[in-house]
Structure 1
């Protein structure tokens, strides 16, 4: 696992400043503390920070082909490189190393842009081919590894594994994108391909970008998508057997490393399944680690211990107290843009714990998206059945009125909180799903934002992110459609971003077998009834694992890395919340309605309303602003002209 960065002159062959490239490269040193490498030639500069995992002795980067005409910097792992090496050798290519990185340059020589179709793994790489004068970037299918880029005003193209690499270039403009601000307060993160800055974009998962001098910046090209192509009919027993076989194989190819390897073990189904497969494939005890919370409502440590005992793992547990909110400022530095998933804190701690003993850890991320494990999928299915009973033209006024008339009863038992359901029923399918997953609802954002920001948005709404993906949605049923939407937004934008930054902060490589693209393709083709059966999500996955895991692990209520935000904001974090949310730094941006911010804090503190998630998103936005102030001036929004959708969005 590594950090990559670089500069490419789209307009000519101007010299690359070595000092500048070195500074851009080293700002990501936490991603690769083992080695640093640079390659510079007229108009091209490539930087690499290495965390040595495979072929430690000879896998240094930037790495070249035989005659030095093709050079690559690469972040990730190509798991099928052992199979690709003899294939490429039979086609005449000569290898100097045993690294998966060298496979990339020879695959490019052999297959050009189609090389990515041959790779199985997690990857983000940039490649320069001097003979064809082509600069090529690619990001893996699921978006496990990040890749940011920007075209500067002087015609230079800059890229990096993190936004901080781009922001280190003096020509990069730190002007906020108002559409990204709307997206952030809608989702709690900035979905691909936007970033918080107008000038920078993320390369979306499963996309490539091909640049040539003298030509304008092209649109990224998609090379893969989740198919959701139905399989031939099969029995549950056959599907279960195939599920275990594919999971085992996905785990096996991710256990290749020349450094200590282990796994996260939360005590949930997904991480427990990964550990069970690892134990079956390993001669030595598997290194596992988990986090124990002081608050029993959030503590899964006992379930993790059950799995660790069953498979005799070398298990370590770290304790996180309910008031462990000391990481707020550190997270703002790590993520480089606003990010409001509070589970980033325990994720950071479990990565910190794991790095004490291993350099590579396998995780169970992706199981809920793959096998329809989230409760919201079930509720969306119910809502879709209700929507089918009445046309939108009748539902919108009827349920819209009920949603407005019904009181917001955060204090009441869940059975009495019908307001959100009424509001969802007044919307179409995509609007309804967005309403269910949004951090701040449409109504809340309308109150939260200043009139100035609303003018900047020119009517844009964060739901358009989902609409854009839904336009090419291959899902044939209500549940598959929202699974697809989550895999395009929540999975890369929230889950995988969280794990990448938290792990890279500790120079820890995390591998994700449940997001193996061949496994994802196969699972997507299963009937929805095998994934969500009645009220039970991940049905076929749990059924398949009955011989491997205890019943309590498979069928207990999902917990996850929950954080008691609402309690924090009425107790130990209240003063910090007040000072941050009502600070001149936040209010001077001109983005927010100051009176409503104060109302949110007061009503939440009194217990009349629960604004926990919304207040956390504001708190983390303020932390982002402070970090931006400390690392370089950011142009305030009020100095910008209105922005239209650009940059391939």
Structure 2
């Protein structure tokens, strides 16, 4: 994972030494090389994790006439095809890197070039002719891009800490951003937990010139109106999705100059990804897994089942609650936001295992549940919709029983709790009907905060994501609305930024998900909702390469021990570090 940063000023000239200090905060993200470009109004910095064209891909990189400079984090998977197209248009490319393709693509198509990219990226581009900075982030928000903007200057970086390397940067928390974390599990872009720092939303481009900052979306998820979904055959849908996932997986292996491994969580999504690698590439597959010493969280038997079935070279790391507590302060530091769950800590330890075995890149199954309706929240929403439509039905409790037949502590065993949890805020006109119980239960955690912090948060309510839904969302199916909310909040803000790719940065490695590429998103939204989340069962339309016994198990969201023992250890760590719940004084 590379690190990018830079500053542009149309007042006083930017300070190269400051950008050098910013680069120094990113060395763990890019251990292979670093460099700084100095122009009149712009200074760009870069630290490199070399994966493609090790010799020719050094950054910041420019075009032959030196009019466009690029600092780039990520990978453009269709760069080979784009390079061929650009050469046919007369461009002279001198390297085999995807970074050079970005520079020439911008030269040819301007900021519209990002619509042509298939990949994951955060880009800072300096247009010398127009004296304009261009920032862009991939569609799903796999890679972060933060900025701090003033009337005549702007700084950008892969990390918040990089922007705070500037002594002039204020270090106050943003009460609204924190309120969002303690409601939606993450701040919602463009907000962050820091008052002076913004993040570019996924699928957006920003330009900054002498006229100021302008931001706009180049992509957003769209779903067909309810009842107007194309009537496609389920088998055809499955075959199309399988082809998309296989292609997305192969691109990661065939266009990297280094070996690529895979995570095996014990769930369906990572197993399908590993199966695609094993059956549709020529590589010798190496897999990596987390084992937990707490039996109820350990899925080692399922991990080993897939590893044996696919014939992988398998590595695992055993994680105890004390291990989670030990690394959790470091994980929070790198997450640069409050964390409501400990799940990123074990993944941080897993990424260490990856790097210790000589791997820079792994693929994961993240993003598949958002696409295929695999989360419990989608099925819970179906129950809530049924309850809202027929509030006097005697079948309400039976519907809850169908949700978790495999769970020892099924909510249906506590009917009063189930009625309270699933029966709150049953408004069919509410576009956020699916997510209200989660948001409400998370917001209840605020009662545990210090009084001064609670007081400030209560005066800064979180902005409801429903307010930002497209006008067409009122005509979408319930599942489509829930998918939109999940992919614009939890997926970029927590799953990808804090749990998946975010945990690999400190260990000088990179995690990516074939399921989170835009090409994988083009198929499911066109399918009737019933084929994405069929009844009470989890979707398995892409899963034929695996054993039936594995497919029929009850897959669950990867989790880690967060009970009493782990909590005691975390509190001990917090006391030792002097952790407090108060905010700095407001302005």
- What TM-score does the superposition give when structure 2 sets the normalisation length? 0.90
Whole-angstrom distance in 1 between the partners of 2:272 and 2:15: 49
Question: In terms of mean alpha carbon deviation, does 105-114 or 322-331 score higher?
Answer: 322-331
Contact 1:187 1:439 survives alignment (8 Å): no
Whole-angstrom distance in 1 between the partners of 2:471 and 2:486: 14
**Closer, same or farther in 2 for the Cα pair 1:132/1:454, shift >3 Å?**
same
The match for 1:134 among 121, 132, 135 is 132
The match for 2:212 among 181, 195, 216 is 216
* Number of the residue aligned with 2:399: none
**Closer, same or farther in 2 for the Cα pair 1:584/1:292, shift >3 Å?**
closer
Question: In terms of mean alpha carbon deviation, does 563-572 or 312-321 score higher?
Answer: 563-572
Whole-angstrom distance in 2 between the partners of 1:412 and 1:322: 30
Whole-angstrom distance in 1 between the partners of 2:314 and 2:578: 47
Structure-to-structure mapping, 1:569-588, within 5 angstroms: 572-573=569-570, 575=572, 579=575, 586=580
* Number of the residue aligned with 1:384: 385
Q: State the shift of 1:115 in Å.
A: 0.6
* Number of the residue aligned with 2:501: 500
Structure-to-structure mapping, 1:391-402, within 5 angstroms: none
- What TM-score does the superposition give when structure 1 sets the normalisation length? 0.82
* Number of the residue aligned with 1:293: 292
**Closer, same or farther in 2 for the Cα pair 1:22/1:349, shift >3 Å?**
same
Whole-angstrom distance in 2 between the partners of 1:573 and 1:510: 26
Contact 1:470 1:485 survives alignment (8 Å): no
* Number of the residue aligned with 1:595: none
Task: Spell out, residue by residue over 1:600-640, the C-alpha distance to the aligned partner (whole angstroms, 9 max, x if none).
Answer: xxxxxxxxxxxxxxxxxxxxxxxxxxxxxxxxxxxx1x332
What RMSD in Å do the two structures reach over aligned CA positions?
2.5
Contact 1:298 1:559 survives alignment (8 Å): no
Whole-angstrom distance in 2 between the partners of 1:585 and 1:239: 51
Question: In terms of mean alpha carbon deviation, does 555-564 or 242-251 score higher?
Answer: 555-564
Question: In terms of mean alpha carbon deviation, does 379-388 or 368-377 score higher?
Answer: 379-388
| 2:538 counterpart SS class | coil
**Closer, same or farther in 2 for the Cα pair 1:182/1:92, shift >3 Å?**
same
Q: Which runs of 4+ in 1 moved over 6 A?
A: 409-412
The match for 1:172 among 154, 169, 172 is 169
Question: In terms of mean alpha carbon deviation, does 281-290 or 432-441 score higher?
Answer: 432-441
| 1:310 counterpart SS class | helix
| 1:420 counterpart SS class | helix
* Number of the residue aligned with 1:629: none
**Closer, same or farther in 2 for the Cα pair 1:264/1:17, shift >3 Å?**
same
List alignment gaps of at least 5 residues for structure 1. Answer: 392-408, 592-635, 641-649
Q: State the shift of 1:428 in Å.
A: 6.0
| 1:47 counterpart SS class | strand
| 1:98 counterpart SS class | coil
Structure-to-structure mapping, 1:417-496, within 5 angstroms: 417-418=417-418, 419-425=420-426, 429-430=430-431, 432-438=433-439, 440-442=441-443, 445=446, 448=449, 450=451, 454=455, 457-458=458-459, 460-462=460-462, 464-469=464-469, 473=473, 476-496=476-496
* Number of the residue aligned with 1:367: 368
* Number of the residue aligned with 2:564: 567
* Number of the residue aligned with 1:190: 187
Whole-angstrom distance in 2 between the partners of 1:411 and 1:134: 56
Q: State the shift of 1:552 in Å.
A: 3.0
Structure-to-structure mapping, 1:605-624, within 5 angstroms: none
Structure-to-structure mapping, 1:44-83, within 5 angstroms: 44-83=42-81
Contact 1:15 1:41 survives alignment (8 Å): no
Question: In terms of mean alpha carbon deviation, does 189-198 or 108-117 score higher?
Answer: 189-198
Contact 2:184 2:489 survives alignment (8 Å): no
Task: Spell out, residue by residue over 1:202-241, the C-alpha distance to the aligned partner (whole angstroms, 9 max, x if none).
Answer: 100000001112x1322x1000011224663222221222
**Closer, same or farther in 2 for the Cα pair 1:454/1:69, shift >3 Å?**
same
Contact 1:227 1:524 survives alignment (8 Å): yes
Whole-angstrom distance in 2 between the partners of 1:433 and 1:297: 28
Q: State the shift of 1:450 in Å.
A: 3.6
Task: Spell out, residue by residue over 1:182-209, the C-alpha distance to the aligned partner (whole angstroms, 9 max, x if none).
Answer: 1111123222211111111110000000
Indicate whether 1:558 and 2:555 are aligned.
Answer: yes
* Number of the residue aligned with 1:351: 351
Whole-angstrom distance in 2 between the partners of 1:258 and 1:474: 46
Whole-angstrom distance in 2 between the partners of 1:453 and 1:297: 34
Indicate whether 1:509 and 2:510 are aligned.
Answer: yes
Q: State the shift of 1:79 in Å.
A: 0.4
Q: State the shift of 1:506 in Å.
A: 1.1
| 2:236 counterpart SS class | helix
Task: Spell out, residue by residue over 1:566-619, the C-alpha distance to the aligned partner (whole angstroms, 9 max, x if none).
Answer: 322675556557x48xx98525x2x5xxxxxxxxxxxxxxxxxxxxxxxxxxxx
Contact 1:434 1:466 survives alignment (8 Å): no
How many pairs were matched up? 563
